């Protein structure tokens, strides 16, 4: 910005000097002062426009348009409900895998325990949730924000 003003000043000075140098020649050549004035006007108008552009190039009006977005809704487990229901980590893990659509056998293989153990965990978590079926347990688990 300041650089531009300085440059403009220098250019203006140089131009004025140049104009004064050729001024007499124009006069000698019997050209009217009008042409001289027009030339000066054109040159300085151009310079002015250029300077104006330079001065304001970075003064943009920033328009912030806020757009509502569906939001990824990051899941946060309701630990208080987990605690109040007395659901253990293992039970919660099994519940998550049930929600993922795995069978007891698949869950057993996934977590390296016997299918019987998975059944025990699931039965306990069903009991704590008051669910009679795994689909119901999943539904309740999601409702209570125990699982995503």
Partner DNA sequence: CCCAAAATCATCCGTTCGGATGACGCGCGT
Partner DNA sequence: ACGCGCGTCATCCGAACGGATGATTTTGGG
Q: Is 89 in the site for DNA (CB under 7 A)?
A: yes
Q: Is 10 in the site for a second copy (CB under 8 A)?
A: no
Q: Is 117 in the site for DNA (CB under 7 A)?
A: yes
Q: Which parts of 71-110 interact with a second copy (CB under 8 A)?
A: 71-73, 98-103
Phi, psi of 112 (to 5 degrees): 60, 50
Contacts for 134 with CB less than 8 Å, ≥ 6 apart: 98, 122, 126
Q: Is 22 in the site for a second copy (CB under 8 A)?
A: no
Residue 109's binding partner among DNA, a second copy, none (Cβ under 5 to 8 angstroms by kind) is none
**Which range of residues in 81-89, 114-122, 138-146 is near a second copy by CB under 8 A?**
138-146
Q: Which parts of 8-27 interact with DNA (CB under 7 A)?
A: none
Q: Which of 134, 141, 146, 147 binds DNA (CB under 7 A)?
A: 134
CA distances, 46 to each of 14, 65, 94, 128, 132 (Å): 15, 36, 77, 82, 84
Token reading at 64: 């912030």
| Cα–Cα distance for residue pair 33/36, rounded to 1 Å | 5
Q: Is 146 in the site for DNA (CB under 7 A)?
A: no
């Amino acid at each position: 910005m300041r650089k531009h003003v300085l440059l403009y000043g220098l250019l203006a000075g140089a131009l004025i000097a140049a104009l004064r140098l050729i001024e007499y020649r124009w006069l000698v050549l019997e050209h009217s002062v009008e042409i001289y004035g027009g030339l000066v006007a054109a040159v300085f108008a151009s310079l002015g426009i250029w300077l104006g552009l330079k001065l304001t190039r970075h003064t943009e009006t920033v328009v912030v348009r806020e757009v509502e977005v569906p939001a990824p809704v990051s899941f946060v487990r309701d630990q208080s409900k987990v605690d109040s229901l007395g659901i253990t980590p293992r039970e919660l893990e099994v519940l998550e895998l049930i929600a993922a659509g795995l069978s007891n056998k698949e869950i057993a293989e996934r977590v390296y325990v016997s299918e019987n153990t998975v059944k025990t965990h699931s039965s306990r978590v069903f009991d704590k949730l008051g669910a009679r079926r795994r689909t119901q347990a999943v539904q309740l688990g999601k409702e209570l924000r125990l699982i995503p």
